[in-house]
Structure 1
């Protein structure tokens, strides 16, 4: 395992991903029916922002620390999720998606987590022992399909891989196609990094060929122009986003753009339907 999210915890991508994930789950919970939440690449669940790995990159200073310094009330739910794993006004720990999702659970909801790497899975089990989450240690794409359709009528699958493997996007595309055939009404969230617009455009063309009617693409570009060979931002593909989420999305995206824009850049964050 080469990728370690502890180097990147609380960065701008985490802020956008978790802000939107919270808004999405809360929108779905406006209806009382139970939800099954599945995280296919769960990681370790909790990260030390004061640790050597996080301090080496300092990425949280341009992410979660900016969010805590920003007074915009649209970010209150996100800040509350981070504050829940901290004591005092400043964040020293950062919740991964498993801890964020666990905070959102109602009594009728279920949480299923998966982490393939043994060391991370061991830590995840310890981090989640005070929750009702089920923790698996399986291939993420095998588990994704095996858990569908969900036990409850509604559910959300979160797919957040490290993109270490050259075939990662191809596996996502193939698994998403199979998952949609089994579970066409379900909500799926796929996170991805943005480094090269041309390469990303080619992947979108492959996804369009799946002909999934309601696939939203949210893209957050940090800089006003591409910065070669570095991280330029991140995005989410969201299949079947609920109406309440879509209604609240424009204001939330603008709050995130304004808060995260690097000095000297306006930044860009957009939401568009991915259609043929």
Structure 2
């Protein structure tokens, strides 16, 4: 499954991923110590919702536009980061994960971004000009291993690949196993698209076998039944989520389910722990 960021910017998966990412970072920032934030597949950092790629799919209409129109205050932090890169009432631009993370930085925090695609990396450097973010152009899995443990005591890694390769899940699983051996207390967020439940059940069991004690799985299924051959939603694996984040998660997930449910469907967001 090819999931190039520019075609899907601001869709329902972005809304869920970015809402949870904001909540996670904010929970960690309740302590004053410095954080290192690392995005291994950063993309461009800013997307034109009126551009050719985004207009071809039109997915933002069932994502960010629905979230902006929803009155639930639990989505206020998400709406604020989107509105920060726009001037009108309707968003023209969508901030990717780098554009969101850079807004969350405190003076003591660090942001490391990586994008292997040369054109996207060039665009990302322009978007990040004038910020403190460091931009790399390396293999994501090599960088993921090389950058950990970070210089700061705490950190968050976001792994958000386009899933262009058939071995993407295998590479994620193997790299996470190696990372956990050298950075057992670190926080990692792994995003993935959902198609059929059977394939993701198999990957779930592979992730469970890693034996990571605190591994949370969150999955957002858009439709009340599987829609064969199409995008059905997205999931996140979160390693070592902080207590403040997990305590606040149920009402946030319910708010997202309601805001993003397609017409005629209730949608479903499920969570479970895979640790022993």
Q: Normalised by the shorter chain, which TM-score bucket?
A: over 0.9
Pairing of 1:76-115 with structure 2 (within 5 A): 76-115=76-115
Offset of 1:272 from its aligned partner?
Answer: 1.1
Aligned equivalents of 2:130, 2:215: Cα separation in 1? 35
- Could you say which residue in structure 2 is the equivalent of 1:266? 266
Aligned partner of 1:146 in structure 2 is 146
- Measured in 2, the distance between the counterparts of 1:122 and 1:81 equals 23
Q: Secondary structure at the match of 2:36?
A: strand
What is the alpha-carbon distance in structure 2 between the residues aligned to residue 189 and residue 54 of structure 1?
Answer: 25
Q: What secondary structure sits across from 1:272 in the alignment? A: strand
The equivalences for 1:219-258 within 5 A come to 219-258=219-258
Please show how residues 188-203 of structure 1 align to structure 2 within 5 Å.
188-203=188-203
Residue of structure 1 equivalent to 2:62? 62
Aligned pair 1:135/2:158, yes or no?
A: no
CA distance in 1, matches of 2:122, 2:20: 28
Q: How does 1:29-68 map to 2 (within 5 A)?
A: 29-68=29-68
Which consecutive residues of structure 2, in runs of 5 or more, have no partner in the other structure? none
Tell me the distance in 2 between the aligned counterparts of 1:257 and 1:130: 36
Per-residue deviation, residues 100-150 of structure 1 (Å, max 9, x unmatched)? 000000000000000001111000000111210000000000000100111
Q: Secondary structure at the match of 1:145?
A: helix
Tell me the SS of whatever aligns to 2:229: coil
Partner in structure 2 of residue 215 of structure 1? 215
What are structure 1's unaligned runs of at least 5 residues? none
TM-score, normalization by structure 1: 0.98
Cα distance in 2 for partners of 1:67, 1:257 equals: 10
Runs of 4+ in 1 over 6 A off after TM superposition: none
**Bigger mean CA offset, 51-60 vs 218-227:** 51-60
Number of equivalent positions: 275
- Secondary structure of the 1:270 match is strand
Question: For residue 173 of structure 1, what is the aligned residue in structure 2?
Answer: 173
- Pairwise CA distance, 1:52: 1.6
- Cα distance in 2, alignment partners of residues 191 and 274 from structure 1: 16
Q: Which residue of 2 aligns with 1:163?
A: 163
Aligned-partner SS, 2:85: coil
Q: In the aligned structure 2, how far is the partner of 1:67 from the partner of 1:261? A: 11
Alignment RMSD, CA only? 0.8
What CA distance in whole angstroms lies between the structure 2 residues aligned with 1:211 and 1:53?
Answer: 40
* C-alpha deviation, 1:90, in angstroms: 1.3
For the residue of structure 1 that corresponds to 2:158, the secondary structure is strand
> C-alpha offsets along residues 166-215 of structure 1, whole Å, 9 cap, x if unaligned?
10000000000000000000000000000010011111111111000000
Q: Distance in 2 between matches of 1:152 and 1:275?
A: 26
SS of the residue 2:122 aligns to: helix
Using the alignment, how far apart are the partners of 1:148 and 1:89 within structure 2?
Answer: 40
